[in-house]
Amino acid sequence: MSVKMSGEDQAKGNAQSSEEATCCQVTVDEVGLLKLKLTILAVLCVILGSFLVAFQVLYFLRVENAETERMLIEQKNRIDNLTKENTVLKTELQGVRKCADDWEYFKGAFYHFSTDKKNWTESRDACVTMGGHLVIINSQQEMV
Protein backbone atom coordinates (compact mmCIF):
# COMPACT_ATOMS: atom_id res chain seq x y z
CA MET A 1 0.00 0.00 0.00
CA SER A 2 1.36 3.35 -0.90
CA VAL A 3 0.26 6.74 0.26
CA LYS A 4 0.88 9.82 -1.69
CA MET A 5 1.58 12.96 0.25
CA SER A 6 1.28 16.48 -0.87
CA GLY A 7 4.26 18.77 -0.67
CA GLU A 8 2.95 20.37 2.49
CA ASP A 9 2.33 16.98 4.12
CA GLN A 10 5.81 15.89 3.13
CA ALA A 11 7.26 19.01 4.69
CA LYS A 12 5.32 18.33 7.88
CA GLY A 13 6.41 14.70 7.78
CA ASN A 14 10.03 15.70 7.32
CA ALA A 15 9.68 18.16 10.19
CA GLN A 16 8.16 15.45 12.38
CA SER A 17 10.87 13.02 11.37
CA SER A 18 13.54 15.51 12.26
CA GLU A 19 11.79 16.22 15.57
CA GLU A 20 11.53 12.51 16.26
CA ALA A 21 15.16 12.09 15.40
CA THR A 22 16.03 14.93 17.74
CA CYS A 23 13.97 13.32 20.50
CA CYS A 24 15.67 9.99 20.10
CA GLN A 25 19.14 11.32 19.71
CA VAL A 26 21.37 11.30 22.77
CA THR A 27 24.16 13.77 22.85
CA VAL A 28 27.63 13.11 24.20
CA ASP A 29 26.89 15.32 27.22
CA GLU A 30 23.80 13.28 28.07
CA VAL A 31 25.76 10.00 27.82
CA GLY A 32 28.40 11.38 30.16
CA LEU A 33 25.69 12.55 32.57
CA LEU A 34 24.03 9.14 32.44
CA LYS A 35 27.35 7.41 33.15
CA LEU A 36 27.94 9.79 36.06
CA LYS A 37 24.49 9.05 37.48
CA LEU A 38 25.05 5.29 37.17
CA THR A 39 28.47 5.60 38.79
CA ILE A 40 27.02 7.59 41.69
CA LEU A 41 24.24 5.01 42.07
CA ALA A 42 26.78 2.18 42.11
CA VAL A 43 28.90 3.98 44.72
CA LEU A 44 25.81 4.58 46.86
CA CYS A 45 24.92 0.87 46.61
CA VAL A 46 28.42 -0.09 47.72
CA ILE A 47 28.25 2.36 50.63
CA LEU A 48 24.82 1.02 51.64
CA GLY A 49 26.10 -2.55 51.47
CA SER A 50 29.10 -1.58 53.58
CA PHE A 51 26.85 0.00 56.20
CA LEU A 52 24.68 -3.12 56.30
CA VAL A 53 27.71 -5.34 56.84
CA ALA A 54 29.07 -2.96 59.48
CA PHE A 55 25.77 -2.94 61.36
CA GLN A 56 25.61 -6.73 61.27
CA VAL A 57 29.14 -6.93 62.67
CA LEU A 58 28.31 -4.40 65.39
CA TYR A 59 25.15 -6.30 66.32
CA PHE A 60 27.10 -9.57 66.49
CA LEU A 61 29.78 -7.94 68.64
CA ARG A 62 27.13 -6.49 70.92
CA VAL A 63 25.52 -9.91 71.38
CA GLU A 64 28.93 -11.47 71.96
CA ASN A 65 29.80 -8.73 74.44
CA ALA A 66 26.58 -9.32 76.38
CA GLU A 67 27.28 -13.06 76.53
CA THR A 68 30.87 -12.46 77.60
CA GLU A 69 29.71 -10.02 80.27
CA ARG A 70 27.18 -12.57 81.58
CA MET A 71 29.88 -15.24 81.75
CA LEU A 72 32.23 -12.80 83.49
CA ILE A 73 29.60 -12.07 86.15
CA GLU A 74 29.09 -15.82 86.67
CA GLN A 75 32.84 -16.32 87.08
CA LYS A 76 33.06 -13.42 89.56
CA ASN A 77 30.23 -14.99 91.58
CA ARG A 78 32.05 -18.33 91.56
CA ILE A 79 35.25 -16.63 92.70
CA ASP A 80 33.36 -14.86 95.50
CA ASN A 81 31.80 -18.14 96.63
CA LEU A 82 35.15 -19.93 96.53
CA THR A 83 36.78 -17.08 98.45
CA LYS A 84 34.11 -17.35 101.15
CA GLU A 85 34.50 -21.12 101.28
CA ASN A 86 38.28 -20.72 101.48
CA THR A 87 37.89 -18.34 104.43
CA VAL A 88 35.65 -20.84 106.23
CA LEU A 89 38.10 -23.67 105.56
CA LYS A 90 41.04 -21.59 106.80
CA THR A 91 39.12 -20.85 110.00
CA GLU A 92 38.35 -24.54 110.45
CA LEU A 93 41.98 -25.43 109.76
CA GLN A 94 43.14 -23.00 112.43
CA GLY A 95 40.78 -24.72 114.86
CA VAL A 96 42.17 -28.11 113.84
CA ARG A 97 45.73 -26.91 114.30
CA LYS A 98 44.90 -25.64 117.79
CA CYS A 99 43.62 -29.01 118.89
CA ALA A 100 46.20 -30.97 116.93
CA ASP A 101 48.64 -30.94 119.85
CA ASP A 102 46.47 -33.36 121.83
CA TRP A 103 45.19 -35.25 118.80
CA GLU A 104 46.64 -37.60 116.20
CA TYR A 105 45.73 -37.47 112.54
CA PHE A 106 45.02 -40.70 110.61
CA LYS A 107 43.41 -40.99 107.13
CA GLY A 108 41.36 -37.80 107.30
CA ALA A 109 40.32 -38.07 110.95
CA PHE A 110 41.74 -36.86 114.27
CA TYR A 111 41.98 -39.14 117.28
CA HIS A 112 42.36 -38.18 120.93
CA PHE A 113 43.74 -40.81 123.25
CA SER A 114 42.72 -40.34 126.84
CA THR A 115 44.25 -42.09 129.83
CA ASP A 116 41.34 -41.08 132.06
CA LYS A 117 39.41 -43.95 133.64
CA LYS A 118 35.72 -43.50 132.71
CA ASN A 119 32.79 -45.74 131.92
CA TRP A 120 31.31 -45.84 128.40
CA THR A 121 28.70 -43.11 129.04
CA GLU A 122 31.22 -40.73 130.61
CA SER A 123 33.69 -41.40 127.78
CA ARG A 124 31.02 -40.71 125.16
CA ASP A 125 30.03 -37.45 126.88
CA ALA A 126 33.68 -36.36 127.05
CA CYS A 127 34.08 -37.03 123.31
CA VAL A 128 30.92 -35.06 122.47
CA THR A 129 32.18 -32.16 124.61
CA MET A 130 35.40 -32.12 122.55
CA GLY A 131 33.39 -32.14 119.28
CA GLY A 132 33.84 -35.82 118.47
CA HIS A 133 32.46 -39.25 119.24
CA LEU A 134 33.76 -42.54 120.52
CA VAL A 135 35.80 -44.30 117.89
CA ILE A 136 34.49 -47.26 115.94
CA ILE A 137 37.51 -49.24 114.84
CA ASN A 138 37.21 -50.35 111.23
CA SER A 139 40.69 -51.72 110.55
CA GLN A 140 43.74 -53.23 112.20
CA GLN A 141 45.74 -50.10 111.27
CA GLU A 142 43.24 -47.90 113.09
CA MET A 143 43.88 -49.83 116.32
CA VAL A 144 47.57 -48.91 116.39
Q: What is the pLDDT of residues 71-91, one digit of tens each?
A: 999 999 999 999 999 998 888
| Model pLDDT for residues 23-33, shown as the tens digit of each residue | 556 676 888 88
Per-residue confidence (pLDDT) for residue 25, from 0 to 100: 63
Per-residue confidence (pLDDT) for residue 105, from 0 to 100: 72
Query: Torsions phi, psi of 26, nearest 5?
Result: -115, 130
Residue 2: pLDDT over 70: no
- Can you give the residue ranges of every domain in the chain? 29-101, 103-139
Residue 12: pLDDT over 50: yes
The pTM assigned to this predicted structure is 0.37
Task: Tell me which of 15 and 109 has the higher pLDDT.
Answer: 109
Alpha carbon distances (Å) from 124 to 96, 109, 131: 20, 17, 11
First CA to last CA distance, the chain:
135
